[in-house]
Amino acid sequence: LVAFGQAAVDPLTGLLPAADATARCRAIETLCEIGDPLPAPEILDYLSDPADDVRIAAARALQRFRYAPAIGTLLQNLDSETAEVREAKAEVVVGFGALAVPNVLEDLDHHGWSGERQVVAILRRLNEPAAQQCVEMLSSEEHHLRWMAVKALGLLDTSAHVTVVAPLLADEDAQVREAALATLSVAGKAGAEAAALCLEDPEVVRRQRISRALVELGDAGIDAAVRTYEAAQVSGRLGIAEVVALSQRPGDLPVLSALLQDASITVRLSVCDTLAEWQTPDCAAMLVQALHDPEPKVADRAVEGLKALGEVGGEALATVLVEETGPADGVLLTALTALGEPALTALHSYLERDE
């Protein structure tokens, strides 16, 4: 019959409804060998045939015909198939290559992204074609497509895609940001380092989102941010200050101390704000040092920070004044007046102690 070629297609197609499963199977296999795609729509119905052999033959024939409309049907109820049929259908879907990726993603989107599902295994077997399409989807204007792409990349070799996923930590859509964070978290150190490099984003709101994400990544994210200090530009250094401010790890105070000497006034101002949030004596002492900053804006911000610290700020300033030798420091005295009661009370307490 194969030798008859196209002339045998119609008679063989007529045999498809045969009562005998073996006859149905042989008819499909012969049509597959002939290779004419004309009967593909009829063969599509046999993907749900009661006989395993018929379903397998139908799947392989549809791949031979490169009949892309079959992909969605091949994915249906895959988890409930027998092991042999499931593997055959999966192999066929993977054989479609890049053509199968949209259907696989759509199936995952509609039926769940659990790693236990057979469709996830197919996505991983598609690998490069899937990754390439997902990377392209990351720049889509539709937030749902960006979300799907990040989710899918998280199921693939995550470490290979961290650099393209990391910028999505600053996405305008919260779901996309959450998916990006989950994907980078799975990647461990590589994900944290990719996220830290995004602190160079010059847009304030985007950089702040990335800072929060780094803190959510835990010590790995915070450490990665701090490690970028030496090579960081102004935006990056501002980002580091934001990360340290949010995490409030005492061990990061030396980083703030270095940033307080930064060449950028904007960075120094940001550090003053951070120190005011920590409410600790060490931070207050650093703000007292900042009172002597050559830039008046920074010195004024340090005064505001000490005010915000209340008694802690007042005690820090009073301590320096009491321990000073030589002529009184006019800058510190001016700050003392600006701080008012908290500083004066602390100073009075110190003087009484000395007496």
Q: What is the pLDDT of residues 171-216, one digit of tens each?
A: 999 999 999 999 999 999 999 999 999 999 999 999 999 999 999 9
Nearest to 221 by CA among 246, 238, 258: 246
Amino acid at 108: L
- The pLDDT of residue 211 is 97
Q: Tell me the pLDDT tens digit for each residue of 77-108.
A: 888 899 999 999 999 999 999 999 999 999 99
CA distance 250 to 252: 5
Res 6 pLDDT > 60:
no
Which region holds residue 325: left if phi is over 0, alpha if psi is between -120 and 50, else beta? beta
Listing DSSP states for 270-298 in one string gives HHHHHHHHH--HHHHHHHHHHTT-SSHHH
Q: Which of 130-144, 223-237, 305-319 has the lowest mean pLDDT?
A: 305-319
The 10s digit of each residue's pLDDT in 117-168 is: 789 999 999 989 999 999 999 999 999 999 999 999 999 877 789 999 999 9
Cα angle 115-118-122, degrees, rounded to a multiple of 5: 95
**For residues 31 and 162, which has the higher predicted lDDT (pLDDT)?**
162
- Percentage of residues of the chain with pLDDT beyond 70: 92
To the nearest whole number, what is the mean pLDDT of the chain? 89
Q: What is the pLDDT of residue 26?
A: 86
Question: Mind listing the pLDDT tens digit for each residue in 325-352?
Answer: 556 688 888 888 888 887 788 777 766 6
Query: Could you tell me the two tokens for 78?
Result: 């895959």
Q: Are the beta carbons of 90 and 118 closer than 8 angstroms?
A: yes
- What local confidence, expressed as pLDDT, does residue 4 receive? 44
Give me the pLDDT at residue 300, please. 95
Query: Could you give the CA distance from residue 241 to residue 2 in angstroms, rounded to a whole number?
Result: 74
Most confident of 13-17, 144-148, 321-325: 144-148
54-68, 204-218, 270-284, 306-320: which has the minimum mean pLDDT?
306-320
